[in-house]
Chain A
Amino acid sequence: MKPLHLVPDDVNVPFLKFRKIFYIVSLAMVLVSVGLFLTKGLNFGIDFRGGILVEIKTDGPADIGALRDNLGSLGLGDVSIQEFGEPDDVLIQLQRQDGDEQAQMAALATVTKALGDDVTIRRSELVGPKVGDELKEAGVYSVAISLLLIMIYIWFRFEWQFAVASVVALLHDVLITIGFFVITGVQFDLATLAAVLTVAGYSINDTVVVFDRIREYLRKFRKMDIPDLLDLSINSTLSRTTMTSFTTLLALIALFVFGGEAIRGFTMALIFGIVIGTYSSICVASPLLMVLRLRRKIPEGEETQEAGA
Chain B
Amino acid sequence: MLYFTKWKAALVLLVCALGVIYAAPNFLPKGTFATDASYLPGKQINLGLDLRGGSHMLLEVDINSVIRERYEALGDTIRSTLREERIRYRPRDAGLNGAEVTVVNSDEVEKARDLIRNVEPDTVMSGEGNNIVVSYTDQARKELVDRAISQSLEVVRRRVDELGTTEPSIQRQGEDRIVVQVPGLDDPSRLRAILGRTAKMNFHLVNEEKTASEARATGLPPGTMILPSADAGDRAAGINEYLIDRRVVVSGDNLVDSQPTFNEGRPVVSFRFDAAGGARFGDMTSKNAGRRLAIILDGEVISAPRINEPILGGNGIITGQFSVQEANDLSLLLRAGALPAPMQILEERSVGPGLGQDSVEAGEIAAILGLVFVVAFMVISYGRFGVYADIALLINLILVLAVMSVLQATLTLPGIAGIVLTVGMAVDANVLIFERIREERNNGRTIINAIDAGYRSAMSTILDANLTTLIAALVLFSFGSGPIKGFAVTLAIGIVTSMFSAIWVTRLLIAVWVKRRRPTELVI
Q: Is A159 an interface residue (CB 8 A)?
A: no
Instruction: Specify which chain B residues have a CB less than 8 angstroms from the CB of A283 in the assembled complex.
Output: none
- Nearest chain-A residue to B478 (Cβ)? A142
A97 at the interface (CB under 8 A from B): no
Chain A residues lying within 8 Å of B124, measured Cβ to Cβ, are none
Are A201 and B468 within 8 A (Cβ)? yes
Q: Are B417 and A102 in contact (CB under 8 A)?
A: no
Known: A247-B424, A247-B428, A248-B424. 11 other contacts (CB 8 A): A138-B481, A190-B480, A190-B481, A197-B476, A198-B472, A204-B468, A239-B438, A252-B370, A255-B370, A263-B413, A267-B417
Which residue on chain B has the smallest CB distance to residue A206? B465
26 A-B pairs (CB sep. < 8 Å) = A101-B344, A101-B345, A105-B192, A105-B345, A120-B352, A122-B352, A123-B352, A128-B344, A145-B475, A146-B472, A146-B475, A194-B476, A201-B473, A212-B464, A240-B435, A244-B432, A246-B377, A247-B424, A249-B424, A250-B373, A254-B367, A254-B420, A255-B420, A260-B363, A262-B359, A263-B414
Complex: A244 Cα to B424 Cα, angstroms: 7
* Chain B residues within 8 Å of A247, by CB: 374, 377-378, 424-425, 427-428, 431
Decide if A197 touches B475 in the complex (CB within 8 Å).
yes
Q: In the complex, what residues of A have CB within 8 A of residue B480's CB? A: 142, 190, 194
Counting CB contacts under 8 A, is B65 at the interface?
no
Q: Are A236 and B439 in contact (CB under 8 A)?
A: yes
Q: How many A-B residue pairs have CB under 8 A?
A: 238
Query: Cβ of B366 < 8 Å from any Cβ of A?
Result: yes
Contact between B420 and A191 (Cβ–Cβ < 8 Å)? no
Closest CB in chain B relative to A35 CB, distance in Å:
27
Would you call B362 an interface residue if the criterion is a C-beta within 8 Å of the partner chain's C-beta atoms?
yes
The contact string, 1 if C-beta is below 8 Å from chain A, for chain B 474-505, is 01101111011001100100000000000000
On whether the beta carbons of A9 and B442 are closer than 8 Å, the reply is yes
A-chain residues with CB within 8 Å of residue B425 when the two chains form the complex: 202, 244, 247-248
Tell me whether A5 and B355 are in contact (CB under 8 A): no
CA distance A55 to B133 in the complex (A): 53
Which B residues touch A5, using CB under 8 A?
381
- On chain B, the residues within 8 Å of A141 by CB distance are 479
Chain B residues with CB under 8 A of A1: 383
Bound state CA distance, A138 and B439, in angstroms?
45
Closest to B486 in A: A194
A57 at the interface (CB under 8 A from B): yes
Residues in B neighbouring A236, C-beta threshold 8 A: 439
Q: Which residues of B contact A15 (CB under 8 A)?
A: none
Interface of B is mostly: helix
User: Do A251 and B354 have beta carbons less than 8 Å apart?
Assistant: no
The number of chain B residues with a CB under 8 A from chain A is 80
Residues of A within 8 A of B (CB): 1-6, 9, 55, 57, 100-102, 105, 108-109, 112, 120-128, 130-131, 135, 138-139, 141-142, 145-146, 149-150, 153-154, 157, 190-191, 193-194, 197-198, 200-202, 204-206, 208-209, 212-213, 216, 236-237, 239-240, 243-244, 246-255, 257-260, 262-263, 266-267, 270
Q: Are A149 and B383 within 8 A (Cβ)? A: no
Contact B484 A201, beta carbon cutoff 8 Å: no
A204 partner residues in chain B, CB cutoff 8 A: 468-469, 472
Q: Are A258 and B466 in contact (CB under 8 A)?
A: no
Give bound CA distance, A19 to B372, whole Å.
38
In the assembly, what is the distance between CA of A1 and CA of B386, in Å?
Answer: 12
Residue from B348, B371, B432 with most neighbouring chain A CB atoms (10 Å): B348
Q: Which of B366, B438, B470 contacts A9 (CB 8 A)?
A: B438
Assembled-state Cα–Cα distance A197/B475 (Å): 9
A250:B461 contact, CB within 8 angstroms: no
Whether B117 sits at the interface, judged by CB under 8 Å, is no
A133 to chain B, nearest CB (A): 11
Complex Cα gap A138–B383 (Å):
46
Partner of A3, one of B381, B439, B464: B381
| Contact between B381 and A243, CB atoms less than 8 A apart | yes
- Which A residues touch B417, using CB under 8 A? 255, 259, 263, 266-267, 270
B381 and A6: CB pair below 8 A? yes
Q: Is B196 an interface residue (CB 8 A)?
A: yes
> Is the pair A3, B467 in contact by a Cβ cutoff of 8 Å?
no
Neighbour of A209 across the interface among B196, B374, B461, CB < 8 A: B461
Instruction: Give Cα A55 to B373, complex, Å.
Output: 32
Q: How far is the CB of A101 from chain B (nearest CB, A)?
A: 5
Choose one: B380, B427, B464, B472; the contact of A201 (CB below 8 Å). Answer: B472
Kindly state the separation between the CA atoms of A105 and B464 in the bound complex, as whole angstroms. Answer: 48
| B508 at the binding interface (Cβ < 8 Å) | no
| Closest chain A residue to B485, Cβ basis | A194
Q: Please indicate the chain B residues that have their CB under 8 angstroms from the CB of A263 in the complex.
A: 413-414, 417
Q: Is the CB of A260 within 8 A of B431?
A: no
Does A259 lie within 8 Å of B362, measured CB to CB?
Answer: yes
